[in-house]
Amino acid sequence: MNKPLARTRIQRKNIALISEAALNIFSAQGFRGATVDQIAREASLSKPNLLYYFPSKEAIHTHLLSTLMDTWLDPLRELQATGDPLDEILTYVRRKLEMSRDHPRESRLFANEIVQGAPHILGLLGTDLKTLVDEKAAIIAGWMAEGRLAPADPHHLIFSIWSLTQHYADFDVQVRAVLGPDRPDPFPQAEAYLTTLFTRMLSVAPQGPA
């Protein structure tokens, strides 16, 4: 309940400015690695001015995390029982991969948080996130029971989609280093690879259905 609604346009502008700057710094340095001075400089604000909008460094971080959690889970929310099973999965994979490509900072912010034990959002993981995943896993399990997807553990299927797609954001520097400096954009290859992977994994009649 810090600054739930930005009343004036100056507030809106500066809170957006701070959020942008904080996303840059936190995603690159982690929570403890980031300093308030860095964020203030990045936002072109004085430190006391930044602290005027957020009561503490932790408040900025929490604000970011909870704001982003929603958008982060949107692709999974879109997975609908009514669609074609394989299409739904592949669309989810592509949407997640797009997020890694277009929002790597958000991905790294979460990665930093989770790797270090999710100290700030542990609660959400076991409640909101678990609920959503269980719901979608049930849909997938339904498809498999109907014979419309090859059988596999639905939860681990979702984990595998997360890990594979987020890898291209979180471990970007490693991916690029291994591929070499000549190939600047690994994402098209990644999309082709992941499409093949999940198609082969989940197709009921692997070499083309009847």
Closest distance of CB 33 from DNA, Å: 8
* Pick 50 or 194: Cβ nearer DNA: 50
Binding status of residue 57 toward DNA by CB under 7 A: yes
Report helix angle 154-170 to 85-102, nearest 10.
30
Say how far apart CA 164 and CA 140 lie, in whole Å.
18
Residues 51, 2: contact at Cβ < 8 Å? Answer: no
Burial class of 124 by CB neighbour count within 10 A (0 to 12, 13 to 18, 19+): middle
Site for a second copy in 140-199 (CB under 8 A): 150, 152-153, 155-157, 159-160, 162-164, 166-168, 170-171, 173-175, 177-181, 186, 189-190, 192-194, 196-197
Burial class of 169 by CB neighbour count within 10 A (0 to 12, 13 to 18, 19+): buried
Residue 91: both structure tokens together: 């669309």
Residues 158, 130: contact at Cβ < 8 Å? Answer: no
Say how far apart CA 17 and CA 137 lie, in whole Å.
38
Binding status of residue 192 toward DNA by CB under 7 A: no
* Of 24, 28, 41, 51, the one binding DNA by CB under 7 A: 51
Per CB under 7 A, the segment of 29-37, 62-70, 89-97, 201-209 that binds DNA is: 29-37
* Pick 58 or 134: Cβ nearer DNA: 58
* Pick 8 or 82: Cβ nearer DNA: 8
* Site residues (vs a second copy, CB under 8 A): 28-33, 108, 111-112, 114-118, 122, 125-126, 129-130, 133-134, 150, 152-153, 155-157, 159-160, 162-164, 166-168, 170-171, 173-175, 177-181, 186, 189-190, 192-194, 196-197, 200-201, 206-207
